Structure 1
Amino acid sequence: MDLASLLKPAAVRVVGHATSKKRLFQDLAELASAVYGIDPSETVNALQERESLGPTGVGHGVALPHARLDGLDRVIGIFMRLEKPLDFDAVDRQPVDLVFALFAPKDSGVEHLKALALVSRTMRDPAICAKLRSNVDPATLHAVLTEARSNQAA
């Protein structure tokens, strides 16, 4: 599994301003619907339900919201770079500007966990995060994300 198999180029976006975590979840759901054809209201509900278990803001300006959804046949991803950081109740209480959301089939089991671990390792790399923060072109952001782990694995 690699990030290129999880993240389509069209699933990468730069967002000027998200006014709240709920609005961000709606933006993620709308993009997931447009790119992958999944139901936006189910997506928002699933993200909010998962977030109620504990915040997915992992620190250093990174959030990894994730949810399991009916109708998916594989794990998929959405990446958003926020131009204005958003309060996300992160573990380090810092606002979030890099958001990598994952959506997995309801019965995905270990594949969901492997994808989450891969994204988490990638987003913990300070050099990758610096490159993501210094670019606003979605194609460049996609390249940074998808080349990051494959280069390290080589």
Structure 2
Amino acid sequence: MDLSTLLSPDCTRRAVAGSSKKKVLEMIGQLAAPRLSGTTSFDVFESLLNRERLGSTGIGLGVAIPHGRLQSANKPVAILMTLAEPIDFDAIDNQPVDIVFALLVPEEEHEQHLQTLAAVAQRLNDKSCTRALRDAQNDQELYQLFTDDNCG
């Protein structure tokens, strides 16, 4: 899967200061909303928060993949962040999270949503890939590493 079609360099941030899960979800909303016509940062935040209420998207190994579907979204948008300090994300392994990949898709794109989540989860379960992402020196390097088919 070509992840560069979902993730753009301007939606990739390294060493973000996120003090809590809520704050990180708010930051994702602020980054994603301008790329989704007719969608506000609050719409994005609410979609992500509602999904988190169903169960944490912290998949373990310091990684979270918050995601949501939006009626007003006209295309899929992704946000990738590494955090300056790991935060509690209620992950399944009870470990703090420092890599966050958020995915927002139009309401009707259920199948694409699932396929994309699976591809991202597979990439972020690769320890050499996550190690490389954590070692990225700037936003551009983080983007290039993540979108490289040989991440890590």
For residue 43 of structure 1, what is the amino acid of its counterpart? V
For residue 22 of structure 2, what is the amino acid of its counterpart? K
Partner of 1:14: 14
Give the drift of 1:29. 0.5
Query: Where in structure 2 are the equivalents of 1:25-104 lying within 5 Å?
Result: 25-37=25-37, 38-104=39-105
Give the drift of 1:51. 0.3
Whether the 8 Å contact between 1:68 and 1:104 is mirrored in structure 2 is yes
CA distance 1:35–1:12, change in 2 (3 Å):
farther
Whether the 8 Å contact between 1:69 and 1:103 is mirrored in structure 2 is yes
Q: Give unmatched runs, 5+ long, in structure 2.
A: none
CA distance 1:16–1:101, change in 2 (3 Å):
closer
For residue 101 of structure 2, what is the amino acid of its counterpart? F
Deviation track 1:66-112 (CA, whole Å, cap 9, x = no partner) reads 00012223322100100100110000000000000000110102100
CA distance 1:35–1:72, change in 2 (3 Å):
closer
How many residues are paired up? 150
For residue 21 of structure 2, what is the amino acid of its counterpart? K
Give the drift of 1:36. 4.5
Aligned equivalents of 2:16, 2:7: Cα separation in 1: 21
Structure 1 residue matching 2:17: 3-state secondary structure: coil
Give the drift of 1:13. 0.6
Give the drift of 1:142. 0.5
For residue 56 of structure 1, what is the amino acid of its counterpart? T
Aligned equivalents of 1:15, 1:139: Cα separation in 2: 12
Partner of 1:105: 106
Structure 1 residue matching 2:137: 3-state secondary structure: coil
Output the aligned Cα RMSD.
Answer: 1.5
Give the drift of 1:35. 4.4
Q: Segments of 4+ in structure 1 off by > 6 A? A: none
Partner of 2:127: 126
Partner of 1:5: 5
For residue 20 of structure 1, what is the amino acid of its counterpart? S
Q: % of aligned pairs identical?
A: 37
Normalising by structure 2, report the TM-score. Answer: 0.93
Give the drift of 1:20. 1.2
Q: Give unmatched runs, 5+ long, in structure 1.
A: none
Give the drift of 1:14. 2.0
